Amino acid sequence: MMLIKKDYNFAEGEVILINKPLDWTSFDIVNKIKFTLKKKYGAIKIGHAGTLDPKATGLLILCTGKKTKDIQQIQDADKTYTGTFFLGATTPCFDTEQEVNQTFELSGITQEDIIKCAQSFIGEQEQFPPIYSAVKIAGERAYNLARAGKEANIKSKKINIYEFEITSIELPTIAFKIKCSKGTYIRSIADDFGKRLNNGAYLYALRRTQIGNYTVKDAWEIQDFVESLVPALN
């Protein structure tokens, strides 16, 4: 259980760790806390250090006041994720936000194949972000172009996968743990994972557990954090 901190100085600057719930956007979290703080302190500068997709959960870091200057440094840190791939199917967005658009037979894929496939991702490489992502193309978000049915020429980005552990295999699902550099799209790893097995895969579940030295074990549930501010807001 988190201890309630009573000596916040949000204008001077605070780093807030939140365990983002499923189906909340990163901006939902920012807006919820911004609205809460405004009741007592007025307008407080606040931002997050790296988004999480709505279907992902886990560590989201917010910075207020002068600590917003640290956002880029936090964003640049390595990330650790746990999650699940669904093998034998694909979706247009590489996760569960859209319906399955293609299915594949799983016969012939062995546990050894899956473990070897994971190891093939280790190291520095070029990765193409998903078409349904916030990457900007000529000033337009890629997901807006995709939803409008327009062609999007997404360029690859250099990333690094430091660790890729398969933690359990219960086909069609595969559980994993990945430590990677900034800018890595786990959704793209899911899609590429399926392709490397001459099959298909999409990201079924994702949780961010660590950013640099910050861990989700030290994070607040959003409602608990809001309630911790109540005495200060009266």
* Active-site amino acid positions: 53
| 221 contacts 229 by C-beta, under 8 angstroms | no
Tally of CA atoms within 13 A in the half-sphere of 77 that contains its CB? 18
**Short-list 71, 86, 54, 57, CA closest to 13:** 71
Tokens of 175: 């559980």
Q: Which amino acid is at 94?
A: F
Alpha helices per DSSP H over 42-99: 71-75
206, containing H or E segment: strand 201-211
| Alpha-carbon torsion angle 214, 203, 33, 136, nearest 10 | 100
Residues 66/39, Cβ–Cβ less than 8 Å:
no
